[in-house]
């Protein structure tokens, strides 16, 4: 099993180093690693944020563990050369259409949530976000109106096949959890959402055991902070999912805690923390590596067929937190390496 390690920029290399220590400590037979440049570091070394060799490694690998991209030095580059284009390019080139973001609150971190502890403690959900379609990939541009004013436009669309494949991921995810799926759309206003809702209802016939509900996105945003415990699995489009998953992450505590998976139709995936390259704390040993360590656990579970190893990592993280491991974002003073040490101590 080949794992592509793409540390990227800012705190990316710092958090990936800790995840690598944890994976090494598991001593799983047949696991090999190859590392490549991506993002701003790749642009500086090779003139492109996603060099051909990096894309080739990502295609050859069984799974990809990704740090983060983003470098203030690159903010004025043409858009196609900016570090963030690397992650969009990987999603598109590898057809990673399903983004899974678990949002679970470790009980020890109830105080870190933006919500009251008694509300936050109920959070245990997965948001399944479509990644390859919607308004982000539709026709877009700037034009002039007949009377000479500037107008920007971005076309929103989904075809039924795109909706069906992500709906199936939503139902499958619900089957493996609490068997409740909430589909989020804006079918009262948008035709794209009406098709979305129709196709989700058709797909439900394949999963009769799952309890399906529908919610408008504005109501979902409200319900996520009012009563997050009502959600088991949410499935939604690219734009709504982008916003709701960030909202859910802050309800669940620090951004430094949450992992994610982006999967293709064959469970090959790219695994990354949901945070960015955090240039404000890069190189200072302040980054919380737990989101990346938990991303490695997701990788073992979803792409590498090693659910027991995934459980071991998740259990070690929970024990490290219970034992008082806290980086600055969690109100403590432990360094990135000390957080890695705390997890390793619980693995052994």
Q: Which of 278, 294, 313, 343 binds ligand NAD (CB under 6 A)?
A: 278
The Cα 71–Cα 209 span in angstroms is: 46
Residue with tokens 């390690």: 5
* Residue span 123-162 as binding mask against ligand NAD, x where in contact by CB under 6 A, dash where not: ----------------------------------------
Instruction: Let me know if 158 is a catalytic residue.
Output: no
In the complex with ligand NAD, the residue whose CB is nearer, 131 or 215, is: 131
Task: Write down how long the chain is.
Answer: 348
Instruction: Let me know if 232 is a catalytic residue.
Output: no
Of 64-72, 143-151, 167-175, 305-313, the window that binds ligand NAD (rule: CB under 6 A) is: 64-72
Residue 256 interacting with ligand NAD (CB under 6 A): yes
In the complex with ligand NAD, the residue whose CB is nearer, 84 or 134, is: 84
255 closest CA partner among 116, 156, 157, 109: 109
Tokens of 78: 């043409």
Residue 269 interacting with ligand NAD (CB under 6 A): no
Q: Which of 87, 120, 210, 244 binds ligand NAD (CB under 6 A)?
A: 87
Residue 320 interacting with ligand NAD (CB under 6 A): no
Residue 340 interacting with ligand NAD (CB under 6 A): no
Of 30-38, 67-75, 106-114, 209-217, the window that binds ligand NAD (rule: CB under 6 A) is: 67-75
Burial grade of 110 (CB within 10 A; 0-12, 13-18, 19 or more): middle
Which residues, 6 or more positions from 309, have their beta carbon under 8 angstroms from its beta carbon? 26, 28, 297, 300
Of 241-249, 269-277, 305-313, 340-348, the window that binds ligand NAD (rule: CB under 6 A) is: 269-277
Residue 90 interacting with ligand NAD (CB under 6 A): no
Residue 276 interacting with ligand NAD (CB under 6 A): yes
Residue 14 interacting with ligand NAD (CB under 6 A): no
List the catalytic residue out of 62, 124, 246, 264.
246
In the complex with ligand NAD, the residue whose CB is nearer, 245 or 288, is: 288
Residue 253 interacting with ligand NAD (CB under 6 A): no
**Cβ 184 to ligand NAD, closest distance in Å?**
21
In the complex with ligand NAD, the residue whose CB is nearer, 281 or 342, is: 281
Of 136-144, 194-202, 226-234, 284-292, the window that binds ligand NAD (rule: CB under 6 A) is: 284-292
Q: Residue 279 in contact with residue 10, Cβ under 8 Å?
A: yes
* 3-state percent helix, strand, coil for the chain, nearest multiple of 5: 45, 20, 35
DSSP E strands, the chain: 2-8, 32-35, 63-68, 98-104, 124-130, 140-144, 150-154, 180-185, 211-216, 233-236, 259-263, 269-273
Q: Residue 157 in contact with residue 138, Cβ under 8 Å?
A: yes
Instruction: Let me know if 218 is a catalytic residue.
Output: yes
Q: Residue 71 in contact with residue 39, Cβ under 8 Å?
A: yes
The Cα 273–Cα 84 span in angstroms is: 15
Of 148-156, 186-194, 212-220, 276-284, the window that binds ligand NAD (rule: CB under 6 A) is: 276-284
Rg of the chain taking only CA atoms, in angstroms: 20
Q: Which of 7, 70, 170, 241 binds ligand NAD (CB under 6 A)?
A: 70
The Cα 302–Cα 236 span in angstroms is: 20
Residue 321 interacting with ligand NAD (CB under 6 A): no
Sequence-ordered alpha helix ranges (H) in 158-302? 160-175, 191-204, 217-226, 238-251, 290-302
Residue 281 interacting with ligand NAD (CB under 6 A): yes
What positions carry a catalytic annotation?
A: 136, 186, 218, 242, 246
Binding site for ligand NAD (CB under 6 A): 11, 15, 68-70, 84, 87, 255-256, 272, 275-281, 287-288, 291, 329
């Amino acid at each position: 099993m080949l794992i592509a390690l793409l540390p990227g920029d800012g705190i990316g290399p710092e958090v990936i180093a800790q995840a690598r220590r944890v994976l090494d400590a598991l001593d799983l037979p047949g696991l090999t690693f190859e590392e490549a440049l991506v993002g701003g570091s790749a642009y500086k070394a090779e003139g492109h944020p996603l060099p051909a060799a990096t894309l080739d490694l990502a295609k050859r690998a069984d799974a990809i563990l990704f740090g983060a991209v983003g470098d203030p030095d690159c903010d004025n580059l043409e858009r196609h050369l900016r570090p963030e284009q690397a992650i969009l390019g990987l999603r598109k080139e590898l057809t990673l259409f399903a983004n899974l973001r678990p949002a679970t609150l470790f009980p020890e971190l109830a105080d870190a949530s933006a919500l009251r502890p008694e509300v936050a403690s109920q959070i245990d959900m997965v948001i399944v976000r479509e990644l390859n379609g919607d308004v982000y990939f539709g026709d877009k541009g700037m034009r002039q109106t007949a009377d000479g004013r500037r107008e920007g436009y971005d076309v929103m669309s989904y075809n039924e096949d795109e909706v069906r494949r992500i709906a199936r991921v939503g139902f499958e995810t619900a089957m493996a959890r609490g068997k409740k799926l909430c589909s989020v759309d804006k079918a009262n206003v948008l035709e794209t959402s009406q098709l979305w809702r129709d196709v989700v209802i058709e797909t439900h016939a394949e999963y009769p055991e799952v309890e399906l509900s529908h919610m408008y996105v504005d109501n979902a945003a409200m319900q996520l902070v009012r009563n997050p415990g009502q959600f088991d699995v949410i499935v939604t489009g690219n734009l709504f999912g982008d916003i709701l998953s960030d909202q859910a992450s802050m309800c669940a505590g620090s951004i430094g805690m949450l992992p994610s998976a982006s999967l293709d139709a064959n469970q090959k995936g790219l695994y990354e923390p949901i945070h960015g390259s955090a240039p404000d704390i890069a190189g200072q040993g302040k980054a919380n590596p737990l989101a990346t360590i938990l991303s490695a656990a997701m990788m073992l579970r979803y792409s590498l067929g090693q659910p027991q190893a995934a459980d071991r990592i998740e259990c070690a993280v929970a024990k490290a937190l219970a034992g008082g491991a806290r980086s600055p974002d969690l109100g403590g003073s432990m360094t990135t390496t000390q957080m890695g040490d705390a997890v390793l101590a619980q693995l052994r």
